[in-house]
Amino acid sequence: MKQLGIIGLLLFLGACQTLPTSAEWLARGDGYFKDGKLQQALKAYNRAQRLNPDNPAVYSSRGAAYFFMGDFPAAQADFVQVLQLNPYRADGYNAFASALAAQGYFTEALEAVNLGIRLAPGKMQAYFTRGGIYFMLGQYKEAVADYTRVLRAQPSADVYRARGAAYAKMEKKAQAEEDFKVAASGAVPEKLSDYTMID
């Protein structure tokens, strides 16, 4: 009888070791995300969230999945959760701003991204996001200023294309053509970063 209890305990402990943790589900979801399998990523993130509802990394990853699936209200809700759990996470404000902007809430998005920039003024992705928001608001001069700041720190084709589009709206044809030419040249990286919503 005593021997059966020990065997049962060993089987129980062995089974517990094979149960994935929240961190393991999060890592699994991130793998699916990187492979473009967003539905599978979402399922993994949901399991991670159920196991640890206080982990901001789960909400940030799940919010990114929702964002790239086009479910901007769900992305916004997850990014709000990130900021509730850690209001000093600068990139959380950038992600939140992106979700707001995708829904057409440009003024609110601008306020959010500015909060993130105040917390971490060296994050170039935030200036790129803010430049896009300025562009959508028709504030092309401000957009060009933000894109130029990014290009001085981290030149990339996507930022050159964005600045070129802003120059085109300002009817600065020569500057626009030059930016589009650099973007197409292959001389700079294609993207500012391998953008996940939150670093």
**Tokens standing for residue 103:** 């829904």
User: What was the pLDDT predicted at 9?
Assistant: 53
Domain boundaries, the chain: 20-86
CATH of the domain spanning 20-86, picked from 1.25.40.10, 2.40.30.110, 3.90.1310.10, 1.20.59.10: 1.25.40.10
pLDDT over 80 (residue 61)? yes
Confidence at 11, pLDDT banded by 50, 70, 90: low
Phi and psi torsions of 52, nearest 5°: -145, 85
pLDDT in tens, 65-99: 999 999 999 999 999 999 999 999 999 999 999 99
d(CA 6, CA 176): 75
Q: What percent of the chain is predicted at pLDDT more than 70?
A: 87
pLDDT over 50 (residue 113)? yes
User: What was the pLDDT predicted at 82?
Assistant: 96
User: What was the pLDDT predicted at 67?
Assistant: 96
User: What was the pLDDT predicted at 1?
Assistant: 46
Evaluate the CA torsion angle 46, 51, 54, 60 in order and state its sign: negative
User: What was the pLDDT predicted at 193?
Assistant: 78
d(CA 158, CA 104): 21
Tokens 């990130």 belong to 82
d(CA 137, CA 51): 41
Question: Which one is predicted more confidently, 58 or 5?
Answer: 58
pLDDT in tens, 147-198: 999 999 999 999 999 999 999 999 999 999 999 999 999 999 999 875 555 5
**Average pLDDT over all residues of the chain:** 91
* Sequence-ordered alpha helix ranges (H) in the chain: 2-18, 22-34, 38-51, 56-69, 72-85, 90-102, 106-119, 124-136, 140-153, 157-169, 173-185
User: What was the pLDDT predicted at 20?
Assistant: 82
Q: What percent of the chain is predicted at pLDDT more than 90?
A: 85
